[in-house]
Amino acid sequence: MTVLVLGGTAEARELAVLLRDGGVDFVSSLAGRVARPRLPVGAVRIGGFGGVPGLRSYLGEARISAVVDATHPFATGMSANALAACSAGSVPLLRLERPGWSGAPDAERWHWVDDHDEAAALTAELGRRPFLTVGRQSLDRFAGPLAGVAALVRVVDAPDIEVPRAWTVLRSRGPYPLDAERALMAEVDVLVTKDSGGSYTWSKMRVAGERGIPVVIVRRAAAPPALEVVHDSAAAAAWVAARPPR
C-alpha cells in the first residue's frame, strides 16, 4: 500500500520519519509555495494536483491506498479537496491536525475573530505598532486597514503584494527562541496571529502574555464532523499501521 501524506508542516515531516521507520511505502506532497521548503524524508512530490479532479486522478495513478491530510490548520482549500477526492474515490482519509491554542491559560483574554478582515479592522483600533504573523498570503487583507500604521510583519518568503511604506518586513523562519521574541517584540503593542497551534511558534504568545499586550487571533474553521482526526504524528502512524492491506 502507498500512503499519501499531504504536508507542509512539522507534523507531516515527523510522520514521514515514523512511516519510513515502520517500513511503510509513502509519498509526501508539498504545495511548492515556499522557495526553500524543509523537505521530509522519503519520496516527495511538489505542486498542486489540479483541484479535486486532479487529486482524484493522482490517487488512482499512484495507487494510493490511504491519505493523511497533515496540512496546516489554515490550508483549508487543500483539506476540502482531500475530503472530496477521497470520498469520491473511497480512499480512507485521516486528518492530522495539531491542537489549537484555544485551551491556553490566556486564551480567554485574547480577541478571537473569524477571519483576517475582522482581524485587520480590530488591529487598526487596538494598536499603533502591531506585530503581524499571519502569513504572506493573508497580508493583502491588512494592507488597506493598516496602510499608515508602523506594523512589524514577519514572513518566510517576501510578500507578493505592494507593502505599505510604513511597514517593516522581517523575513525569518521558525522556530523562534523566547529571548529573541522578547527582544523583537519589545516595542510592539498588539500581536496578530492565526490559531496555528503547536509549540513551534508559541513563544510570541508567551511574550504577549508577559507584556500584557492584546492578542488578535483568527479562529480555525471547524473540521467536517464525519472526518477522523488525530492530533499528533504518532497517532497518525498508528492509524496507518492499522489499515488492512489493499
Closest approach, Cβ 192 to ligand NAP, in A, equals 13
Q: Does 6 bind ligand NAP (CB under 6 A)?
A: yes
Would you state the cell numbers that stand for residue 236, as one nine-digit string?
497518525
Closest approach, Cβ 114 to ligand NAP, in A, equals 16
- 9 or 233: CB nearest ligand NAP: 9
Q: Does 29 bind ligand NAP (CB under 6 A)?
A: yes
Q: What Cα–Cα distance (Å) separates residue 165 from each residue in 143, 148, 156?
A: 10, 8, 19
Among 3, 7, 155, 201, binds ligand NAP (CB under 6 A): 7
Q: Closest by alpha carbon to 205, among 219, 222, 190? A: 190
Q: Does 30 bind ligand NAP (CB under 6 A)?
A: yes
Q: Which of residues 140-169 bind ligand NAP (CB under 6 A)?
A: none
Among 3, 9, 113, 190, binds ligand NAP (CB under 6 A): 9
Binding-residue pattern over the window 100 to 139 for ligand NAP, x denoting contact by CB under 6 A? -----------------------------------x-x--
Coil/strand/helix, residue 62? coil
Closest approach, Cβ 241 to ligand NAP, in A, equals 22
* DSSP letter string, 136-164: GGGTHHHHTTTTTS--EEEESS--SS---
CA–CA gap between residue 170 and residue 186 (Å, rounded): 15
Q: Which of residues 46-105 bind ligand NAP (CB under 6 A)?
A: 48-51, 54-55, 71-72, 74-78, 81
* DSSP letter string, 66-92: EEEE---TT-HHHHHHHHHHHHHHT--
Coil/strand/helix, residue 114? coil
- 65 or 71: CB nearest ligand NAP: 71
- 31 or 207: CB nearest ligand NAP: 31
Contact 10, 75 (CB under 8 A): no
**Total residues interacting with ligand NAP, rule: CB under 6 A:** 24
CA–CA gap between residue 245 and residue 211 (Å, rounded): 53
149-158, long-range: CB < 8 A, 24+ apart: 149/123, 149/124, 152/184, 152/188, 156/34, 157/33, 157/34, 157/35
Among 8, 100, 127, 214, binds ligand NAP (CB under 6 A): 8
Point out which span in 6-14, 60-68, 86-94, 197-205 binds ligand NAP (CB under 6 A).
6-14
Among 3, 18, 31, 208, binds ligand NAP (CB under 6 A): 31
Binding site for ligand NAP (CB under 6 A): 6-9, 29-31, 33, 48-51, 54-55, 71-72, 74-78, 81, 135, 137
